[in-house]
């Protein structure tokens, strides 16, 4: 089945530790995205990547880092510099056709990160 | 800057009643508009998408939305609510850059 997988589902971290969230897709999509979701705030874009080996900051990139070494994978690292990392993190992917209509983003099941 | 406003963070309806979830966008050009649904502790699932082909868009699970340029609105409706419709609903707007701007969400409760 085609889709997006995120692991782990739940993650606990001590303050001061970096942690990496996994996101893999087998939809052959060019673009991938990371969002953070907090109650009452909707989804906020952290980073996005339209092509392998390239990525751009979103609206709340501080304290986060990403890599895009393979088309299928877009891991997110939450660093110790992120002041309030406890949140629900969602990965998404889409086709990428510059100048054409906005393509539908398909979402993974999410990872809930809790900092202890 | 583009923005999306969802009026009403919580909406409660009785089973069988009309569902109306409101979404307004702010954009100098009509954007591409989406409605997503999220069940607890899950990712977002696409309900429907507006791409200018038709102003009335039909989606999954009996939902539909009407694009009204004069009102800059894209409200989501369903004629008869079912218990399984209880979830959080997000409106989003995007352009040719593929970046989506999300509203803050509306939590729909369905009372028996």
> Is the confidence at residue A69, as pLDDT, over 80?
yes
Which of A87-91, B28-32, B96-100 shows the lowest mean pLDDT across its residues? B28-32
> In this predicted structure, what is the pLDDT of residue B4?
92
> Is the confidence at residue A112, as pLDDT, over 70?
yes
3-state secondary structure of B29: coil
Handedness of CA B9, B29, A32, A97 (dihedral sign): positive
The percentage of chain A sitting over the pLDDT mark of 70, rounded to a whole number, equals 94
What rounded mean pLDDT belongs to chain A? 92
Whether A107 contacts chain B with CB within 8 A: yes
Task: Yes or no: say if A105 and A94 are a contact pair by the CB < 8 Å rule.
Answer: yes
| Partner residue facing B96 (CB), from A90, A94, A99 | A99
Number of H helices, E strands in chain B: 0, 12
B53-64 as b/e, with b when 16 or more CB fall inside 10 Å? eeeebebeeebb
Q: Do A40 and B105 touch (CB under 8 A)?
A: yes
């Amino acid at each position: 089945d085609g889709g997006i997988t995120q692991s782990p589902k739940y993650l606990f971290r001590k303050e001061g530790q970096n942690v990496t969230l996994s996101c893999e897709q087998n939809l052959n999509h060019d673009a991938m995205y990371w969002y953070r979701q907090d109650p009452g705030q909707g989804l906020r874009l952290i980073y996005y990547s339209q092509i392998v080996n390239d990525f751009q900051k979103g609206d709340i990139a501080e304290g986060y880092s990403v890599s895009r070494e393979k088309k299928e994978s877009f891991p997110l690292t939450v660093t110790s510099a992120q002041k309030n990392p406890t949140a629900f993190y969602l990965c998404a992917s889409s086709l990428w056709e510059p100048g054409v209509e906005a393509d539908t983003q398909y979402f993974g099941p999410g990872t809930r990160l809790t900092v202890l | 800057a583009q923005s999306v406003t969802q009026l009403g963070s919580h909406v409660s309806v009785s089973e069988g009643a009309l569902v109306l979830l409101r979404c307004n966008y702010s954009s100098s050009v009509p954007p591409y508009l989406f409605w997503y649904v999220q069940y607890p502790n899950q990712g977002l699932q696409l309900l429907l998408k507006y791409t200018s082909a038709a102003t009335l868009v039909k989606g999954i699970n009996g939902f539909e939305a009407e694009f009204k340029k004069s009102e800059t609105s894209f409200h989501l409706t369903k004629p008869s609510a079912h218990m399984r419709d209880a979830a959080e609903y997000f409106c989003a707007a995007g352009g040719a850059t593929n970046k989506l701007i999300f509203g803050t969400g509306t939590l729909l409760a369905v009372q028996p």
